[in-house]
């Protein structure tokens, strides 16, 4: 039972207080942190099968080593987040093996098939950039000490993933021809996908436990701006088209497409012509999960039960 | 600088200079160094002793390649805010007129960053005056061990939560 009331804890973390143990948490704080950590853990975990699908398209042994090293990092990062969840009384076994695939909380982007090296490196450039945008904000601002310390290493390792994405995007862009076309095609569906990743615009968000409990520092729209401030210049410098630009008038990045809009997952195509849709429609799409959801979840756990049974028989 | 000021300055720079990966990389390096310097403070690193050790090392550098060694002190590992020199990856630097040969190794033969590291060495040395060509040679003997790291390197790793 926490020593603090909800109001007291919100005031204390606003003044810079750092919690060191779950015993200090109020119910509200605990719930908000669990949601945040579940999204973090599930995202890291589900990136592994998504990246592995594309890593099989690596152009050489050394590049495959790089891709697999990224996958290893992601699984380790998932472990860190699940372990912190265990400290808070949740069961990692149940979280990974006891949930239905649609109950995982990773973003819709990791329900999509990554089908080529170009899509893998664009995912490293865009999705990992989204991850580092969110997690470095958590690192800077979180009021939960154990998470802050764990994120130092995560943050450093993510830098290599970004570098991998950006360097390879540059190589493919400079190669021109079919290589650049494939890259542009990847950018076309992944850019809006990542913009949407950051969630509801600020003017629609009711209240955010994550901000009130100092579990993060920036709002969804601010984080979206941070992501675009790295991604738009990157793509422009590589001669790639993106549906967003810097506006001197508004002093921020603005989108050149109706946001949010319909997505055809089968064709990997955003419908910019039918206008804006409601966020309820987006949440519905997210809730139904994307085309690879079941396959990705099963691929990280398919041998768990059968092999467990074999071992038990042998014992 | 607030977040929005930072975004504006990057946007302005990108329109002025066709913003490239170097600017992004510099920002990333600053972010990494920030996280590690906080952690270094927590780990109780003796910064004055490190400075003295570094000054002694600089004084011991061979005359013709000293500037090149110092240049590689600017090149950071792709993950950790630690230079290739402090990591002990640079075995030798030789110079003939404007051509430079570098012998370097890696922490593991399955290092996922070998290509990036070699590119970074070449790019940085080509920025030096009187350097027109650079050849980087991979050397696997003697193999790298943690013993090859400088005290500075160890301090960074301890700050990053790695025990050495």
pLDDT for A29-87, tens place per residue? Answer: 999 999 999 999 999 999 999 999 999 999 999 999 999 999 999 999 999 999 999 99
Cross-chain CB nearest to B114 (options A62, A139, A170):
A62
Angle among Cα A168, A169, A175 to the nearest 5 degrees reads: 90
Residue B163: per-residue pLDDT: 73
Between B40 and A69, the higher pLDDT residue: A69
Q: Report d(CA B159, CA B44) in Å as an integer.
A: 9
Residue B20: per-residue pLDDT: 54
Residue B141 contacts A where some CB pair is shorter than 8 Å: no
Q: Report d(CA A183, CA A173) in Å as an integer.
A: 7
Residue B123 has pLDDT above 60, yes or no: yes
Summarised one tens digit per residue, pLDDT across range A99-113 is 999 999 999 999 999
Residue B36: per-residue pLDDT: 74
Residue B24 has pLDDT above 80, yes or no: no
> For the packed helices B114-126 and A61-87, what is the interaxial angle rounded to 10 degrees?
110
Of the given ranges (A64-68, A276-280, B42-46, B52-56), which has the lowest mean pLDDT?
A: B42-46
Summarised one tens digit per residue, pLDDT across range A219-267 is 999 999 999 999 999 999 999 999 999 998 999 999 999 999 999 999 9
Question: Of A210, A77, A216, A215, whose CA–CA distance to A155 is shortest?
Answer: A77
Residue B19: per-residue pLDDT: 47
Cross-chain CB nearest to B35 (options A69, A139, A160):
A139
Q: Report d(CA B51, CA B149) in Å as an integer.
A: 15
Question: Of A83, A103, A101, A70, whose CA–CA distance to A22 is shortest?
Answer: A83
Rounded average pLDDT over A202-207: 85
Residue B41 has pLDDT above 90, yes or no: no
Residue B59: per-residue pLDDT: 94
Chain B residue with CA closest to A61: the answer is: B110
Other beta carbons less than 10 A from residue A304's beta carbon: 12
How do beta strands B99-104 and B133-138 pair? parallel
Q: What is the rounded average pLDDT for all residues in chain A?
A: 95
- Substitution target in A229, A250, A253 with the highest count of B β-carbons within 10 Å is A229
Rounded average pLDDT over B99-113: 94
Q: Report d(CA A214, CA A211) in Å as an integer.
A: 5
DSSP line for A138-164: HHHH-SBHHHHHHHHHHHHHHHHHHHH
DSSP A255: E
Other beta carbons less than 10 A from residue B160's beta carbon: 22
User: Is the distance from CB of A137 to CB of A223 less than 8 angstroms?
Assistant: yes
DSSP B144: P
User: Is the distance from CB of A195 to CB of A179 less than 8 angstroms?
Assistant: no
Residue B89 has pLDDT above 70, yes or no: yes
Residue B1 has pLDDT above 90, yes or no: no
User: Is the distance from CB of B53 to CB of B150 less than 8 angstroms?
Assistant: yes
Q: Report d(CA B22, CA B79) in Å as an integer.
A: 16
Residue B128 has pLDDT above 60, yes or no: yes
3-state secondary structure of B132: coil
Residue A93: per-residue pLDDT: 94
Chain B residue with CA closest to A249: the answer is: B8
Other beta carbons less than 10 A from residue A101's beta carbon: 16
Residues 6+ apart with CB under 8 A from A1: none
**Could you tell me the CA-to-CA distances from A110 to A36, A114, A138, B35, B149 in Å, in that order?**
17, 9, 21, 28, 39
Inter-chain CB proximity A229 and B11 less than 8 Å: yes
Between B10 and B23, the higher pLDDT residue: B23
Residue B56 contacts A where some CB pair is shorter than 8 Å: no
Pairs of CB atoms within 8 A across A/B:
100
Between A32 and B21, the higher pLDDT residue: A32
Residue B16 has pLDDT above 60, yes or no: no
Residues 6+ apart with CB under 8 A from B55: none
Residue B30 contacts A where some CB pair is shorter than 8 Å: no
User: Is the distance from CB of A166 to CB of B21 less than 8 angstroms?
Assistant: yes
Rounded average pLDDT over B141-162: 88
Residue A222 contacts B where some CB pair is shorter than 8 Å: yes
**Which tokens belong to A187?**
């950018």
Residues 6+ apart with CB under 8 A from A71: A47, A48, A51, A52, A55
Q: For residue B43, is it left (φ>0), alpha (ψ between -120 and 50) or beta?
A: alpha
User: Is the distance from CB of A96 to CB of A45 less than 8 angstroms?
Assistant: yes
Residue B18: per-residue pLDDT: 40
**Which tokens belong to B164?**
């050495």
User: Is the distance from CB of A96 to CB of A301 less than 8 angstroms?
Assistant: yes
Q: Report d(CA A100, CA A96) in Å as an integer.
A: 9
Rounded average pLDDT over A83-100: 96
Summarised one tens digit per residue, pLDDT across range A127-174 is 999 999 999 999 999 999 999 999 988 988 898 999 999 999 999 999
Chain B residue with CA closest to A239: the answer is: B18
**Which tokens belong to B16?**
């002025």
**Which tokens belong to B109?**
């033969």
Residue B13 has pLDDT above 60, yes or no: no
Three-state secondary structure string covering B136-156: EEECCCCCCCHHHCCHHHHHH
């Amino acid at each position: 039972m926490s020593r603090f009331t909800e109001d007291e804890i919100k005031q204390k973390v606003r003044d810079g207080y750092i919690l060191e143990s779950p015993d200090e948490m109020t119910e509200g704080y605990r719930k908000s942190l669990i949601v945040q950590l579940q999204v973090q853990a599930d995202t890291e975990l589900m990136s592994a099968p998504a990246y592995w699908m594309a890593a099989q398209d690596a152009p050489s042994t050394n590049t495959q080593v790089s891709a697999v090293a990224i996958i290893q990092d992601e699984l380790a990062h998932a472990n860190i987040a699940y372990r912190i969840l265990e400290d808070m009384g949740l069961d990692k076994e149940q979280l990974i093996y006891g949930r239905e695939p649609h109950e995982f909380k990773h973003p819709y982007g990791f329900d999509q098939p990554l089908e080529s090296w170009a899509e893998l490196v664009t995912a490293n450039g865009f999705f990992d950039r989204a991850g580092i945008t969110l997690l470095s904000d958590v690192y800077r601002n979180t009021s939960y000490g154990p998470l802050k310390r764990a994120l130092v290493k995560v943050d450093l390792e993510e830098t290599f993933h970004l570098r991998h994405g950006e360097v390879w995007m540059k190589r493919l862009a400079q190669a021109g021809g079919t290589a650049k076309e494939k890259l542009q095609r990847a950018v076309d569906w992944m850019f809006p996908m990542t913009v949407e990743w950051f969630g509801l615009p600020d003017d629609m968000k009711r209240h955010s436990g994550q901000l009130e409990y100092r579990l993060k520092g920036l709002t969804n729209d601010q984080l979206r701006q941070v992501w675009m401030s790295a991604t738009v210049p990157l793509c422009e410098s590589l001669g790639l088209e993106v549906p967003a630009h810097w506006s001197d008038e508004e002093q921020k990045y603005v989108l050149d497409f109706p946001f949010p809009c319909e997505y055809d997952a089968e064709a990997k195509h955003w419908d910019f012509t039918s206008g804006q849709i409601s966020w309820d429609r987006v949440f519905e799409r997210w809730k139904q999960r994307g085309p690879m959801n079941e396959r990705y979840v099963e691929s990280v756990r398919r041998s768990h039960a059968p092999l467990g049974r074999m071992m038990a028989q042998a014992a | 600088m607030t977040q929005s000021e930072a975004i504006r300055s990057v946007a302005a720079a990108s329109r002025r200079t066709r913003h490239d990966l170097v600017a992004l990389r510099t920002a990333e390096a600053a972010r990494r160094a920030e996280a590690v310097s906080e952690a270094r403070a927590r780990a109780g690193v003796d910064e004055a002793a490190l400075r003295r050790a570094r000054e002694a090392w600089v004084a011991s550098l061979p005359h013709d390649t000293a500037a090149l060694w110092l240049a590689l002190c600017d090149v950071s590992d792709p993950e950790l805010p630690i230079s290739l020199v402090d990591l002990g990856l640079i075995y030798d630097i030789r110079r003939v007129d404007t051509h430079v040969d570098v012998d370097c190794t890696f922490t593991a033969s399955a290092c996922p960053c070998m290509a990036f590291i070699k590119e970074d060495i070449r790019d940085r040395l080509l920025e030096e005056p009187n350097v027109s060509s650079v050849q980087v040679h991979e050397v696997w003997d003697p193999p790298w061990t943690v013993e090859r790291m400088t005290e500075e390197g160890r301090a960074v790793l301890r700050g990053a939560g790695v025990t050495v």
